Amino acid sequence: MTKGLGNGAPRELGDVVSIIGPGMKITGDCESDGTIRVEGAIEGSIKAAKSVVVGKDGIVVGDITTQDAIVAGRVNGSVTAESRVELQASCRIQGDIRSRRVKLEEGGQIDGSLHMGANIQQKSDGRAKVAEQPQPSASKSA
């Protein structure tokens, strides 16, 4: 889907970056077809179709769901990214992380579980879960 820029040039909605600037605080959930960059604070969940970037001074109290996530600030909640999560040296996360790929820089802190692999699936409530691997059935011999 495209939207005009006013100068006649179309722009993809996925290219839009929404910025929560320093000193700005949002209470409530945020949702975007593009990217959300947090340099301020959000108390609520974030859903972005393309990516979520939490800057060094950014604070999120709530869950993050996106395609790609880059975290340099603080997150109190789960981080779910369909493709990848990058955790920078200054990040502090209290919550679970779910993604196919994870990059953790030295110094980054996580207080929670890490679930990696291609078997990340969405639950009906919007949160991701790790698909359970089928267990071999135990057979009893008489």
- Percent share of the chain, pLDDT over 90: 70
- What is the rounded CA–CA span in Å between residue 113 and residue 54? 19
From CA 80, how far away is CA 141, in angstroms rounded? Answer: 44
Could you tell me the two tokens for 129? 């879960």
pLDDT of residue 61: 98
DSSP3 helix / strand / coil % (the chain, rounded to 5): 0, 55, 45
Over residues 129-139, the mean pLDDT reads 47
Predicted TM-score of the model (pTM) = 0.77
Percent of the chain clearing pLDDT 70 (strictly above) = 73
pLDDT of 117? 83
- Please tell me the predicted confidence (pLDDT) of residue 5: 52
